[in-house]
Amino acid sequence: MASSDWSKAVEDQEKRLSAGMKRVQLGAPRTAPKTGEATPSAQPSAGDWCDEVDSGPEGEEEGDKPTTAAEASLLNKLLHDGLVKAKVSVEVQQKDPNSPLYSVKSFEQLRLSRELLDGIYGMGFNTPSKIQETALPALIADPPCNMIAQSQSGTGKTAAFVLALLHRVDKTNMWPQVLILSPTYELAVQTGDVISEMARFIPEIKIMLAIKGKKPERGQMIAEQIVVGTPGTVLDFLTRRRCLDPNRIRVFVLDEADIMINVQNFQDHSVRVQRQLKPDCQMMLFSATYSDEVMSFAKRIIPDPIVIRLKKEDETLDNIRQYYTICQKEEEKFVALSNIYGVVTIGQAIVFCYTRKSASALCEKMKNDGHAVALLTGELTLEDRATILTRFRDGKEKLLITTNVCARGIDVEQVTVVFNFDIPVDVYRQPDFETYLHRIGRTGRFGKSGLAINFVDGIRSREYLKRIEDHFGKKIRELRTDDIDEVEKLNEE
Ligand code: ADP
């Protein structure tokens, strides 16, 4: 937006607000900050207008923390039941940079057994996903090579390693040949299910789950060819029960390494399991994220790996229409939201609030207004968050009210509108450009066009938004939400 447009908007807003405004006097004592909760005295009362209660952390409330990358991975894993198609580029580092890099465009090119191909096609896979195109030729090549592969959740990593390990298993040998470590009980079960499904036409292949509550009879060796389990139980099978012979393991997989490193003892247990295996055992590690911490763990546990990284193309705001609407106070924001929500054809929408408290207050109001609304805030357990997000993904609720806990990494394809009920600011009370990008990036995913509407409730938040606009160099237009015709126009664009 040209700065003259902004000055005009500022001027107009000043006029519109002036009637009900009562500026707090300079030097008026501020309420002492209180973590995570708003003090009632710090809230604006009807008709009050003051910089001190402008959008964001003006010392009164602390915003909700964003979900960690590992938590986002796990949530996405639980959310996806189809391949995620994001724009990506592949980056490979290999031991021998002179050796040509193979990549395949069809499963047939991999020369897999007929039964395995039938299993893959039976799952509805027609062509390899991006990560599979690059990883599979290396994973099934002889001699076997070790691999570290990173790509976002839902891109086909599990299917890739399951295919590779099924290719390696000798179904005539009744002892464990493949060992897979998963960070949680649920993920181990989920991986076991994928193996069973892909090996549907190879009934001789059996799977043992090494998870809490499952143990072989005392003194009995495991006969299943594939063992999937959590690190502690697998370590117990290897060292205490001795029901698993590490010398016969030909393939070792460490799945969801980023989640693994966040669980106490798991790094240690995984390293202890890996040390028992023979040096010629093929080792693979998969992770949805690529932090220094994950990579140093990965390199510690996987010797001489080929490293494959699928990098998501940078998120942009190109296919997102951005608006701001001026509200005088909290109540007006609610009215504006209701007006837009009632008029705009919304697939699904997310509303971002700054604090848990404001999110839950808004949720109550929307519910009282008869809307089916989901509320997701940071105090919930990962399981509860997964349940709420799954319901939202399945369309049981069309509106999700949340905080920064959902700002990054969680993909729900149907989201077409994002509302910034509060403009994102960082701990230094500066506009948080990255969080803005991540929040707005919840819409317009997978090439679809999206709509972002920002609620401006004071001079400070207006200034924040102006800086956000300058930062990204993308116009944020004004939307008069009291003018239904104007709101309706959003449907036409
Ligand atoms: P990740 O391990 O990276 O999270 P998954 O292997 O679990 O990804 O795959 C995500 C989803 O995509 C699953 O539902 C899986 O069945 C499906 N999928 C995986 N590979 C393919 C493929 N080549 N074609 C179609 N669907 C696939």
**pLDDT (tens digit, 9 = 90+) per residue, 126-163?**
999 999 999 999 999 999 999 999 988 788 999 999 99
- For position 313, what pLDDT does the model report? 62
| pLDDT the model gives residue 213 | 85
CATH 3.90.650.10 fits 3-78+315-491, yes or no: no
Whether this model's pTM surpasses 0.95? no
State the pLDDT at residue 80. 61
Per the prediction, the chain carries an average pLDDT of 80
For residue 20, is pLDDT > 60? no
pLDDT band at 360 (very low <50, low <70, confident <90, very high): very high
Mutate to test the pocket of ligand 1, among 117, 158, 413 (most ligand atoms within 8 A of CB): 158
- pLDDT at residue 329 is higher than 90: no
More confident residue, 212 or 439: 212
125 lines ligand 1 (CB under 6 A): yes
Say how many C-beta atoms besides its own lie within 10 A of residue 25's C-beta.
7
- The residue with greater pLDDT, 127 or 45, is 127
* The most confident of 96-100, 256-260, 300-304, 382-386, by mean pLDDT: 300-304
Lowest mean pLDDT among 72-76, 226-230, 304-308, 434-438: 72-76
Same fold: 3-78+315-491 with 90-310: yes
> Is the pLDDT confidence value at 85 over 90?
no
154: left (phi over 0), alpha (psi -120 to 50) or beta: left
Q: Which fold has domain 90-310?
A: Rossmann fold (3.40.50)
Give yes or no for residue 156 CB within 6 A of ligand 1. yes
Above 70 in pLDDT, residue 445? no
- Confidence tier at 72 by pLDDT (50, 70, 90): low
CA–centroid distance, residue 204 to ligand 1 (Å): 24
pLDDT band at 359 (very low <50, low <70, confident <90, very high): very high
Q: Which residue minimizes the CA distance to atom 19 of ligand 1?
A: 156
Q: 119 CA distance to ligand 1 centroid (A)?
A: 14
Predicted confidence at residue 91, as pLDDT, reads 80
Per the DSSP assignment, residues forming a β-bridge with 324 are: 454, 478
Nearest Cα residue to atom 16 of ligand 1: 82
Residue 233 confidence class, pLDDT cut points 50, 70, 90: very high
For residue 436, what pLDDT is reported? Answer: 86
- Averaged pLDDT for residues 338-366: 88
**What spacing in Å lies between the alpha carbon of 136 and ligand 1's midpoint?**
14
State percent of the chain over pLDDT 90: 44
**122 pLDDT more than 60:** yes
pLDDT at site 40: 28
Is 80's C-beta closer than 6 angstroms to any atom of ligand 1? yes
Q: Taking residues 106-111, what's their average pLDDT? A: 94
How is the chain split into domains, by residue range? 3-78+315-491, 90-310
CB 85 near ligand 1, within 6 Å: no
- What span, in angstroms and rounded, lies between the C-alpha atoms of 301 and 472? 41
The average pLDDT across 46-59 equals 32
Q: Averaging pLDDT over each range in 160-174, 395-409, 434-448, which range is the top one?
A: 160-174
Q: Is 132 in the pocket of ligand 1 (CB under 6 A)?
A: yes
Candidate of 127, 129, 198, 228 to mutate for ligand 1, largest count of ligand atoms within 8 Å of Cβ: 129
Ligand 1 pocket residue status of 130, Cβ below 6 Å: no
